[in-house]
């Protein structure tokens, strides 16, 4: 068998597997979206059928938009996610730069200490965090969530970014120093643009868990005016009756903003993944 033919078969096989995986991964999302446009009866009678003129209904979306302050929840989730990502990237990159660039006593220990958080889930400390938030008066504020998520995201961010920053050429940083750039300008203007793919990777890895988190909003910020989208959607899930139309519509809507953020980061992300892979 010729090598070219073999390669072609391999390519087909690889694509086959990938397409299959994509279908499996997207199937639940697809089911959620089609069912969000159906009447309640249709959802249960034929969950996999497409909505048609008989079963089509926007009742779920109407409930979602009329009940509760859905736009506020949206806004809260967006603020928490974007602000957390911003602080994770900013502080993570700064710490990573210090660890990668400067020699000081305890550099290695500091790096290990910062990386330890990757292995210890922050939820273990929930009670202590709650006490802390009560004492500082941050309960039921978005800041409580932003601070917790920043802490949760930093270890991995520092770990990944410091690895990438070590690869940035020393000569480039030294050229900047000789030209009189401050360490801050070297960091922001020379180093950060070069590790942009790694930053996007960190952002995407952190974004989804923060957006979807139910635990901390429930514990630290359950008040109406600071509810996040995930928490807000819970009103439709009752102990005895669940308004499935509304739940499915809320979930469908919740996909949109993450999609938007993902598209923003994805170009960088793909570069990040492949640059790591081929080097």
Partner 1 sequence: MTALALTNICKSFGPVEVLKDINLTVEEGEFVVFVGPSGCGKSTLLRVIAGLEDATSGTVEIGGAQVNSVPPAKRGIAMVFQSYALYPHLSVRDNMALGLKQENQPKSVIEARVNKAVQMLDLGAYVDRRPSDLSGGQRQRVAIGRTIVREPKLFLFDEPLSNLDAALRMNTRVEIAELQRTLSATMIYVTHDQTEAMTLADKIVVLRDGRIEQVGSPMELYNNPVNQFVAGFLGSPAMNFLSKAPVSIPENGVIGIRPEYLRPVSGGRIKGRVTHVERLGGDTNLLVKTAQDEALTVRIFGQDDTRVGEAIELDFDDAKAFAFDHEQRRVI
**In the complex, minimum distance from the CB of residue 118 to partner 1, in angstroms, rounded to a whole number:** 28
If binding is defined by CB under 8 A, does position 105 make contact with partner 1? no
Selected from 166, 189, 225, 267, the binder of partner 1 by CB under 8 A is: 189
Q: Label residue 271 exposed, middle or buried (CB < 10 Å: 0-12, 13-18, 19+).
A: middle
Tell me if 270 contacts partner 1 by CB under 8 A: no
Q: By CB under 8 A, is residue 177 in contact with partner 1? A: yes
Q: Could you say which of 13, 14, 18, 172 contacts partner 1 (CB under 8 A)?
A: 172
Which CB atom, from 59 or from 183, has the smaller least distance to partner 1? 183
Q: Could you please report the per-residue DSSP string of 197-234?
A: HHHHHHHHHHHHHHHH--HHHHHH--SGGG--HHHHHG
275 near partner 1, judged by CB under 8 A: no
Q: Are 88 and 202 in contact (CB under 8 A)?
A: yes
Q: Which stretch binds partner 1 (CB under 8 A): 80-88, 151-159, 173-181, 253-261?
A: 173-181
Whole-angstrom distance, CA of residue 234 vs CA of residue 29: 18
CA distance 233 to 70: 9
Q: How many residues bind partner 1 (CB under 8 A)?
A: 15
As a whole number of angstroms, the distance between CA 112 and CA 125 comes to 20
Give yes or no for residue 110 binding partner 1 (CB under 8 A). Answer: no
Options 3, 127, 128, 178; binder of partner 1; rule CB under 8 A: 178
The C-alpha atoms of residue 209 and residue 193 are separated, in whole angstroms, by 26
Binding mask 191-230 for partner 1 (x = CB under 8 A): --xx------------------------------------
191 with 164: CB under 8 angstroms? no
* Between 45 and 189, CB nearer to partner 1: 189
User: Is residue 111 a contact partner of residue 155, using CB atoms and an 8 Å limit?
Assistant: no
Site residues (vs partner 1, CB under 8 A): 169, 171-172, 174-181, 189-190, 193-194
């Amino acid at each position: 068998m010729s090598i070219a033919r073999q390669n072609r078969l391999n390519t087909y096989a690889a694509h086959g597997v990938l397409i299959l995986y994509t279908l499996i991964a997207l199937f639940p999302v697809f089911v959620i979206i089609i069912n969000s446009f159906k009447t309640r009866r249709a959802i249960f009678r034929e969950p996999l059928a497409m909505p048609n003129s008989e079963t089509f209904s926007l009742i779920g979306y109407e409930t979602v938009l009329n009940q509760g302050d859905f736009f506020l929840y949206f806004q809260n989730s967006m603020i928490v996610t974007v602000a957390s990502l911003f602080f994770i990237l900013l502080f993570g990159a700064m710490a990573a730069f210090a660890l990668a660039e400067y020699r000081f006593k305890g550099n290695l220990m500091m790096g290990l200490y910062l990386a330890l958080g990757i292995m210890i889930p922050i939820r273990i400390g929930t009670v202590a965090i709650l006490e802390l938030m009560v004492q500082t008066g941050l309960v039921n504020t978005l800041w409580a969530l932003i601070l917790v998520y920043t802490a949760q995201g930093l270890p991995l961010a520092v770990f990944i970014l410091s690895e990438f920053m070590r690869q940035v050429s020393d000569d480039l940083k030294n050229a900047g120093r000789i030209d009189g750039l401050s360490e801050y300008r070297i960091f922001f203007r020379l180093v950060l643009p070069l590790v942009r793919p790694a930053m996007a990777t960190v952002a995407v890895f952190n974004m989804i868990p923060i957006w979807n988190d139910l635990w901390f909003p429930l514990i630290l910020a359950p008040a109406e005016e600071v509810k996040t989208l995930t928490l807000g959607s819970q009103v439709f899930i009752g102990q005895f009756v669940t308004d499935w139309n509304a739940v499915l519509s809320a979930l469908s809507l919740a996909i949109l903003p993450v999609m938007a953020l993902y598209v923003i980061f994805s170009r960088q992300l793909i570069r990040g993944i492949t640059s790591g892979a081929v080097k």
